[in-house]
Amino acid sequence: MRARWVSVAAAHHSTKGYKAISKQFEVHHTTVGKIIHKWKIFKTAASLPGNGHPSKFNPRTDRAVSRETAKSEI
């Protein structure tokens, strides 16, 4: 898959349009756009780590904690 992404970027570099590239690799033209956008910024086709530290609690656990604390106060 990564090799295909590099090929998409190379095809774009050889002045092919998004439509022609999408037909050649049989992917949607918006996918081609996203691949090229990522290539322009990071110069790689690899999956990169997310941005920032993951939150400790999600909304569901927040509600569960508040229910538990409300039970213990009564």
Give the domain extent around 23. 1-47
The pTM is what? 0.62
The verdict on residue 9 lying in a domain is: yes
Residue 6: pLDDT band (50, 70, 90) is confident
C-alpha dist (Å) from residue 20 to 5, 54, 56, 62: 15, 39, 45, 49
In a domain, 70, yes or no: no
Please state the domain count of the chain: 1
Q: How do residues 32-62 score in pLDDT, each as one tens digit?
A: 999 999 999 998 888 888 888 888 889 999 9
Residue 22's pLDDT band, with cuts at 50, 70 and 90, is very high
The CA R_g of the chain, rounded to the nearest whole Å, is 22
- What is the pLDDT averaged over residues 16-24? 93
Residue 72 lies in a domain: no
